[in-house]
Chain A
Amino acid sequence: MTDQTTEPTVKAQSPLSEAWDMFRRNHAAMAGLVVLCCIVLGAIFGPYLYPGKPFEMAWAPFSPPGADGFLLGTDYLGRDLLAQIIHGARVTLIIGLSAAIVTVVIGVTIGAMAGFYGGIVEEALMRFTEFFQVLPTLLFSMVIVALFGASLPMITLAIGLVSWTAVARITRAEFLRIRELEYVMASRASGASGRKLMFRVILPNALPPIIVQSALMVGSAILFEAGLSFLGLTDPNVISWGQIIGSNRQYILESSFTVTIPGLAIFITVLAISLVGDGLNDALNPRLRQR
């Protein structure tokens, strides 16, 4: 037979496990992942392991880190800074994560519809997106928080509403690119419905850049929350890292550690998330993978 193939057997490896192989070889991304896992575990189990109460006055104010048995010192009200960091991690991570989810849900829905349907639908949705893009983000979220209160869901929503535009644009761009590829036409020739094309054929192939963008979105949402807290626009009864910085900001010159320590916590977390996001970008990018 002239048309028989004779190739060595290849192991059936899914794109996912291949991406993980690629990710594992990226040392910076793995370091970021390890740090991130520690932070997440600390946020979940820390409050049970460390007895300190974040809102109780424990010692004299402004006692420096390490002194008097307080590892990270105390703040302007004499509260244990380590307890605050541990308890604040939860809120900070929850806000980061849920704001990123809000961002992805809004962004992917609008971007996918714009990219798939094209024409007048795309025109309308992209003008709508641009409207949100030109709003000054901090001011807009301040308005939302000021109008509807500084509860956790509202802050999450405010952050999500000002940052979904990037995801929408990326999703639309991916849809525009992928819908012209031959395998989408092949699916249409195979009788796939519009919904199936959109969600089962195009969306899975558009996911890699969206995943990367949303990982980075977690980081920027944490920073955004810190910004809002610093301005005193969040609930003072809910402790987050940004809120610690905000409440100690008047004493930044006398005892800078009260601001530096939560600042470092934010910095390390966002850096770890960025490293993971960057590693995901390389691992999920098929062009890089083929090298």
Chain B
Amino acid sequence: MTELLEIENLSVRFPVRKKGAGWGGKTYLTAVDSVNFTVRKGETLAIVGESGSGKTTAALAIARLVTGETTGQVRLEGKDILPLQQEQLKAMRRKVQVIFQDPYSSLNPRQRAEDIVREPLDSLTGKSASEKAAIVDELFAAVGLRPEQKRLFPHQFSGGQRQRIGIARALSTRPEVIICDEPVSALDVAVQAQILNLLRRLQADFGLTYLFISHDLGVVQHMCDSVAVMYMGKIVEHADRIALFSNPQHPYTEALLSAVPSVDAKRREETRRILIPGDPPDPLNLPKGCRFASRCPIAEPRCSESEPPLKQAGNGGMVACHLREAG
């Protein structure tokens, strides 16, 4: 398996007007801070983290959809996509598509379902009308929608059906990579399972690579090959799914996993919930050391002094913690 997507030192920052600084007083909010990871072809990498951890911003930066200042490199098949413009950008958009979080706001209410699915073909390809119609028909079948539903408007579909339209749209240009930005978190649980199964089936059928953004560890465990945990714009742990779930290294990952509710009373007894006190630090005024130090149950003085780099960890993955060294 080859590396399809390589992300190197990706940072995204947004200019923010400073309070009380008057005209031109600007500061930056760094939403994603020097993030590195790779995704192999045909695999699913999950990025998990709490709200505001930068996971969605990172994913949208890879799809060239953020407005903030983006630095670093995002290599798709070895080629950096961040500087691309015009035709090359269109070529890249054909290969990278996005499934959005909220199926109620991600479909244009004034377009019919077939027009929504066809939009990427209209803007990104030079296919003839009949070719496009054939592709739309094929995709409707692939995502489990009936042909007569093509003429309907988004508000005439249920949440799950809307997300199927969103998935068909993302598939229309036959992309290599699909960025799934919390694709099921707005759906109810029964529908979540249907959509997740659909995504897995499509991954096999179309040979897709997923970058799967989620905060739901249950969903992640079901979907992914490897997991990257983000906290305050940094990746704190990146490991294979099994290694991460059975042997988490970073104290933040441990706390996250301990928070997953269990119906099994015995397991509930065994796993003590690790509480994280306090709030995340102010993103405009980040601490100098480890960003998790102020809430970490096992922090030492050196944690607030220097920032831990991402290094090899005991479970075969990478971890950014002074206290968890390989060996």
Contacts and interface: CB of A to CB of B under 8 A. Distances in A.
B277 to A, nearest CB: 34
Contacts of B166: 186
B164 interface: yes
The 9 closest A-B pairs by CB, nearest first: A191-B123, A182-B106, A12-B151, A190-B120, A191-B124, A3-B198, A183-B108, A182-B100, A182-B105
Nearest to A1: B144
Given A7-B161, A9-B148, A185 B124 contact: no
Given A3-B198, A3-B201, A12-B153, A190 B124 contact: yes
Given A190-B122, A190-B123, 19 more contacts: A2-B197, A3-B144, A3-B195, A3-B201, A5-B146, A5-B164, A7-B161, A9-B148, A14-B153, A15-B153, A183-B105, A185-B65, A185-B106, A186-B106, A186-B166, A187-B108, A191-B120, A191-B123, A191-B124
A189 B153 contact: no
B241 interface: no
A181 B102 CA distance: 10
A188 interface: yes
A22 B112 CA distance: 20
B123 A183 contact: no
Contacts of B156: 10, 12-13
Contacts of B108: 183, 186-187, 201, 205
Interface of B: 60, 63, 65, 89-90, 93-94, 97-98, 100-102, 105-110, 112, 119-120, 122-124, 144-146, 148-149, 151-153, 155-156, 158, 160-161, 164, 166, 169, 193-195, 197-198, 201
Contact of B105 (A12, A181, A290): A181
B283 to A, nearest CB: 20
Nearest to A10: B156
A57 B59 CA distance: 79
A3 B148 contact: no
A10 B120 CA distance: 26
Interface of A: 1-5, 7, 9-10, 12-15, 181-183, 185-193, 196, 201, 204-205, 286, 290
Nearest to B198: A3
A185 B66 CA distance: 9
Contacts of A193: 123
Given A1-B144, A185-B100, A190-B169, A205 B110 contact: yes
A12 B112 contact: yes
Nearest to B119: A190
B97 A189 contact: yes
Contacts of A3: 144, 194-195, 197-198, 201
Given A182-B100, A190-B123, A204-B110, A4 B93 contact: no
Contacts, number: 97
A290 B155 CA distance: 10
A182 B101 contact: yes
B88 to A, nearest CB: 12
Contacts of A13: 153, 156
30 contacts: A1-B144, A3-B194, A3-B197, A3-B198, A5-B145, A5-B160, A5-B164, A7-B158, A7-B161, A12-B153, A13-B156, A15-B110, A15-B153, A181-B105, A185-B60, A185-B100, A186-B100, A186-B108, A187-B119, A187-B123, A189-B120, A190-B93, A190-B119, A190-B124, A190-B169, A191-B93, A191-B94, A191-B124, A192-B119, A204-B110
Contacts of A1: 144
Contacts of B194: 2-3
Given A3-B195, A182-B100, A196 B123 contact: yes
A183 B109 CA distance: 9
A286 B109 CA distance: 10
B147 to A, nearest CB: 11
Contact of B98 (A186, A286, A290): A186
A5 B100 contact: no
Contacts of B151: 12
Nearest to A185: B65
Contacts of A181: 105
B74 to A, nearest CB: 15
A73 to B, nearest CB: 52
A193 B255 CA distance: 44
Contacts of B122: 190
A190 B148 CA distance: 24
Given A190-B119, A204-B110, A5 B105 contact: no
B169 A5 contact: no
Nearest to B181: A182
B82 to A, nearest CB: 16
Contacts of A191: 89-90, 93-94, 120, 123-124
Contact of A189 (B93, B152, B201): B93
